[in-house]
Structure 1
Amino acid sequence: MTNTLEGSTALVTGATAGIGRAIALQLAARGADVVVHGRSIERGAEVVQEIADTGGRARFISADLGAADDVRRLAAQAGAVDILINNAGVYKFATTADSDDAFFDEHINLNLRAPYILMQQLAPGMAERGRGAVVNLSTIAAGTPARGAGIYGASKAGLELLTRVWADEFGRDGVRVNAVQAGPTETPGTAATPGLTDALGELATLGRAAAADEIANAVTFLASPAASYINGAIVQVTGGQAAIAP
């Protein structure tokens, strides 16, 4: 089974850095026309140029995923999309007592509502064409309690449930919907908290954090024809769960 994406258009949210950037580069390398989403026009132009320099095709759209109407505008400007990668998200830390409404809304709006709207706007078109692939980026915190990350984990747990709902809702029309549950990963975002990613990586059976490309590898596979019979799966890319010592 081939994994070429020639003739496909892919929208990758949060594609100007970290895992999203790695995904955009990989999809372009496999032949997809990539719609690079982000907030920074400068960083978006850099990713588009990097793809062009390697013979790929890409364009950039800036949008605020925290604003529902801007998410709908992103979908409209992206046009007919065959591959949707819901990668963009926010992860901040606070206890329940210290979380205010803005903190709550930011996580729910970016991590849950934005993917929901993009599915509303783009998946019916995939279904009409009889093909499509959606990959949602989740986290190990969706299934394992993490101190100070309750709303973050809950928003991603909700996205995992929606992944299975959408797999059922659109699967009969040839649209596959899966999620990648990522473990600790070295990105510019995680670098903002020095030592945290390395400490979490030590808890994995591999004893280290992932590189962004390692998470992107799983996403790109799920988006490709090589994963044609995988639907509704939550794929763990976490480095393995260590056993409880006796």
Structure 2
Amino acid sequence: MKVVVITGGKSGIGSATVDIFLNNNYQVVVLDKEEVGKSHPKLLYYNCDISDEHMVKNVFEEIYKKFCKIDVLINCAGIQILEEWHSISTVHWNKVIKNNLYGTFYCLNQATKYLNRGGAVVNVTSIHAKSPRINNYPYDISKAGIELLGKELAIELGRKGIRVNNVAPGCIDTPMNTDIDLTSQVIRDKIPIGRAGQPEEVAKVIYFLSTDSSSYIHGVTLTVDGGRNLIK
């Protein structure tokens, strides 16, 4: 049985990703600061703040001791804090960067010690890693950093038989976007497919990139945005 570690599996894209791996008979290990809220014989939860390097190191050591391997790592955990440029709090800036960018780095650094040939890594970034906007500076910058880090690791790990790819979601109906009316005409007009995406639609792409069905896809960022990137 293959073992997948998913960060941020409590809700949104992370929760949908947990479901799709469970449905495909994986042993799923979730790292999150909150309980997953679901029960399954092949689901194991660790309370883990990924911005804490020491905690991440200990958790991955425990996972390896328990299963003697890690086949797939999905970096899905992310937070955002919206603030105008001249109102940015350095505390908030550091919190977002520390969680999203440093946290992903810590998980990558530890998990890749245990991934064997044939393993896979998928990082969840954002279309805003490349498409600039205002008032979400630390989030977008952290996602841009994750995207580049993923591509550089693809160079590093490819010859070891480990594939690394990124998924860049667009406007997705998740708890992170609860303050936005995703059904508004303004939003829909910016998405050629005419609606916001669902977490499950992103999870399917994440799963695809984790399996042998994508065995020759490596070092890329797949955009899952209903065509949002086509409209400026």
Same fold (TM over 0.5): yes
- Partner Cα distance (1:202, 1:19) in 2: 23
Query: Partner of 2:106: helix, strand, or coil?
Result: helix
Q: Which runs of 5+ in 1 are unaligned?
A: 1-6
Q: Is the contact between residue 91 and residue 107 of structure 1 (CA under 8 Å) also seen in structure 2?
A: yes
Partners of 1:148 and 1:189 in 2: CA distance: 15
Q: Is the 8 A contact 2:182 2:196 kept in 1?
A: no
Q: How big is each residue's C-alpha offset from its partner over 1:88-122, in whole Å with a ceiling of 9 and x where there is no partner?
A: 00111112321122111111111111111111111
Report whether the alignment pairs 1:30 with 2:24: yes
CA positional deviation for 1:194: 3.7
Identify if the C-alpha distance between structure 1 residues 101 and 242 changes in structure 2 by more than 3 Å, giving closer, same or farther. Answer: closer
Q: 1:72 aligns to what? A: 57
CA contact (8 A) 1:184 1:201 kept: no
Which residue does the alignment assign to 2:107? Answer: 118
- Aligned equivalents of 2:102, 2:224: Cα separation in 1: 24
CA distance in 1, matches of 2:10, 2:45: 9
**How many Å separate the matches in 2 of 1:103 and 1:123?**
29
Distance in structure 2 (CA, Å) of the matches to 1:34 and 1:189: 23
Q: Does the CA contact (< 8 Å) of 2:190 and 2:231 recur in 1?
A: no
**Mapped partners of 1:162, 1:179: distance in 2:** 10
Q: 1:164-203, aligned counterparts within 5 Å?
A: 164-191=151-178, 193-195=179-181, 198=184, 199-203=186-190
Indicate the residue corresponding to 2:80 in structure 1.
91
Which residue matches 1:106? 95
Amino acid at match of 1:109: K
Q: For the residues of structure 1 that align with 2:159 and 2:8, how far apart are their CA atoms?
A: 29
Cα distance, 1:201 vs. partner? 4.5
> Does 1:221 pair with 2:208?
yes
Inter-partner Cα distance in structure 1 for 2:154 and 2:183: 31
Instruction: Confirm or deny: 8 A CA contact 1:140 1:181 kept in the other structure.
Output: yes
Structure 1 runs of 4+ aligned residues shifted over 2 Å read: 196-202, 241-245
Q: What is the rounded CA distance, in whole Å, between the counterparts of 1:178 and 1:197 in structure 2?
A: 30
Q: Compared with structure 1, are the counterparts of its residues 122 and 244 closer, same or farther at alpha carbon in structure 2 (3 Å cutoff)?
A: closer
Shift of 1:197: 7.2
Match of 2:5 in 1: 11
Retained in 2: the 8 A contact 1:19–1:216? Answer: yes
Shift of 1:76: 2.0
Q: What is the Cα-based RMSD across aligned positions, in Å?
A: 1.8
- Which secondary structure does the structure 1 equivalent of 2:97 belong to? helix
Contact 1:184/1:197, CA 8 A, preserved across alignment: no
The alpha-carbon deviation at position 244 of structure 1 amounts to 5.7
The answer on whether the counterparts of 2:121 and 2:210 sit within 8 Å (CA) in structure 1 is yes
Pairing 1:237–2:224 present: yes
Q: Distance in 1 between matches of 2:183 and 2:58?
A: 34
